[in-house]
Amino acid sequence: MKKRFAAILIILTLVYVSADYSRDASVSASGNIDNYEYVLGGNVVGIKLYGRGLILVDFKEISGENPALKAGLCKGDILLSANGTDIKNTDSFIETVITSPGEIAITADRNGELFETVLIPIKDESGINRVGMWVRDSIAGVGTVTFYDERGGRVVTLGHSVSDSDTGRRFGVRKGYITDCDVVSVEKSEEGAPGEIVGKFTEDEKIYGYITENTAGGLFANSSGILPVDEVKVKTASSREVKDGEAFLYTELGGDGVKPYKVEIKKVFGRAKGDMIVTVTDDELLSLTGGIVQGMSGSPLIQNGKLIGAVTHVFVNDPTRGYGIFIENMLSETEKIK
**pLDDT by residue (tens digit) across 124-183?**
888 999 999 999 888 888 999 999 998 889 999 998 888 777 777 788 888 899 998 888
Q: Do residues 103 and 228 share a domain?
A: no
- Average pLDDT over the chain, rounded to an integer: 85
Span between the terminal Cα atoms of the chain, in Å = 33
Rounded mean pLDDT, 226-233 = 80
Cβ contact 312:158 at 8 Å: yes
pLDDT at 270: 62
Q: Decide if 322 is inside a domain.
A: yes
Q: Decide if 46 is inside a domain.
A: yes
268-297 residue pLDDT tens: 886 554 699 999 999 999 999 999 999 999
**Is 230 designated active site?**
no
pLDDT at 274: 63
Q: Which of 110, 131, 152 is the last residue of a domain?
A: 131
pLDDT at 52: 84
Q: Decide if 187 is inside a domain.
A: yes
Q: Decide if 312 is inside a domain.
A: yes
Would you state the torsion angle of the CA atoms of residues 177, 302, 250, 215, taken in this order, to the nearest 10 degrees?
Answer: 20
CATH number at residue 296: 2.40.10.120
> Is the pLDDT assigned to residue 8 strictly greater than 50?
no
**Is 297 designated active site?**
yes
Q: Do residues 115 and 174 share a domain?
A: no
> Is the pLDDT assigned to residue 196 strictly greater than 60?
yes
> Is the pLDDT assigned to residue 11 strictly greater than 80?
no
Q: Which of 131, 166, 192 is the last residue of a domain?
A: 131
**Is 282 designated active site?**
yes
Q: Do residues 107 and 171 share a domain?
A: no
Active-site residue, selected from the candidate residues 160, 189, 299, 313:
160
| Percent of the chain clearing pLDDT 70 (strictly above) | 86
Q: Do residues 189 and 162 share a domain?
A: yes
Rounded mean pLDDT, 231-259 = 91
Q: Do residues 216 and 187 share a domain?
A: yes
pLDDT at 337: 62
Q: Do residues 13 and 73 share a domain?
A: no
Q: Do residues 203 and 263 share a domain?
A: yes
pLDDT at 210: 94
Number of structural domains in the chain: 2
Q: Do residues 290 and 194 share a domain?
A: yes
Mention every residue, 6+ apart, whose C-beta is less than 8 A from residue 113: none
Rounded mean pLDDT, 2-28 = 37
Q: Decide if 219 is inside a domain.
A: yes
pLDDT at 338: 52
Q: Supply the range of the domain harboring residue 177.
A: 8-51+137-336
Q: Do residues 107 and 233 share a domain?
A: no
DSSP 59-125: E--BTTB-HHHHTT--TT-EEEEETTEE--SHHHHHHHHHH-SS-EEEEEEETTEEEEEEE--EE-T
pLDDT at 26: 37
Active-site residue, selected from the candidate residues 239, 297, 299, 332:
297
Active-site residue, selected from the candidate residues 24, 58, 166, 282:
282
CATH number at residue 104: 2.30.42.10
Q: Do residues 210 and 75 share a domain?
A: no
Q: Decide if 56 is inside a domain.
A: no
| Percent of the chain clearing pLDDT 90 (strictly above) | 56
Q: Decide if 101 is inside a domain.
A: yes
Would you state the torsion angle of the CA atoms of residues 324, 326, 330, 332, taken in this order, to the nearest 10 degrees?
Answer: -150
Rounded mean pLDDT, 32-43 = 84
- In this structure, is the dihedral angle defined by the CA atoms of residues 177, 54, 199 and 303, taken in order, positive or negative? negative
Q: Decide if 2 is inside a domain.
A: no
110-122 residue pLDDT tens: 988 999 999 999 9
> Is the pLDDT assigned to residue 89 strictly greater than 50?
yes
Q: Do residues 76 and 218 share a domain?
A: no
Alpha-carbon distance values, 118 to 18, 105, 225, 270, 295 (Å)? 22, 5, 46, 48, 40
pLDDT at 204: 81
pLDDT at 33: 67
Q: Do residues 174 and 291 share a domain?
A: yes
> Is the pLDDT assigned to residue 6 strictly greater than 50?
no
Rounded mean pLDDT, 45-57 = 90
Q: Which of 131, 157, 185 is the last residue of a domain?
A: 131
Report if pTM > 0.85: no
